[in-house]
Amino acid sequence: MVREKFMPRKILLILFTLVVGMALALFLLRHPEEEPVPEKFVEVSGAQEIVDGKHVATALVADEGMNLVIAHCTGCHSAKLITQNRFNSEGWIRVIRWMQETQNLWDLGESENTIVAYLSKHYAPAFAGRRIPLPDTEWYELKEE
């Protein structure tokens, strides 16, 4: 008699546990779909990022040839060695030949023209022409004796 009294409660308890458990399982399974990983974390790797026209990882100016420079010129030393130097195209070729003769830099092949063009465009000597005329100068006249 006592048993029969408690049976429905037990069944209810089991049913309740099953329903709650299934609801919980469904919630947990659905959860990742509701919050997908933002695409930018997947697609943009920090090493490729360009901000204000400069490649963040190397500080090289973003332009045609930059990727070749990154590929050929940043394996042995920092890109800083490039960005802190200024040469015209002959100068850059001289640096490249020096590295090829003494530092085991490989033959750049067809990429050399693009690399030298990029370097001499963005890392060229600053204009060092005539000085700016002096402002507000009072000239005096030379007197003949």
Taking the C-alpha atoms of residue 122 and residue 62, their distance in angstroms, rounded to an integer, is 10
Q: How far is the CB of 101 from ligand HEC (least distance, A)?
A: 11
Q: What are phi and psi of 50, to 5 degrees?
A: -120, 125
Q: Which of 24, 85, 97, 113 binds ligand HEC (CB under 6 A)?
A: 85
Q: How far is the CB of 81 from ligand HEC (least distance, A)?
A: 4
Of 95, 44, 47, 42, the residue nearest 71 (C-alpha)? 47
Q: Which of 72, 89, 91, 117 binds ligand HEC (CB under 6 A)?
A: 72
The number of residues in the chain equals 145
What is the pattern of x (binds ligand HEC, CB under 6 A) and - over residues 7-46? ----------------------------------------
Alpha helix (H) ranges present in 35-107? Answer: 39-43, 66-73, 80-83, 89-102
Q: Which of 65, 115, 118, 120 binds ligand HEC (CB under 6 A)?
A: 115
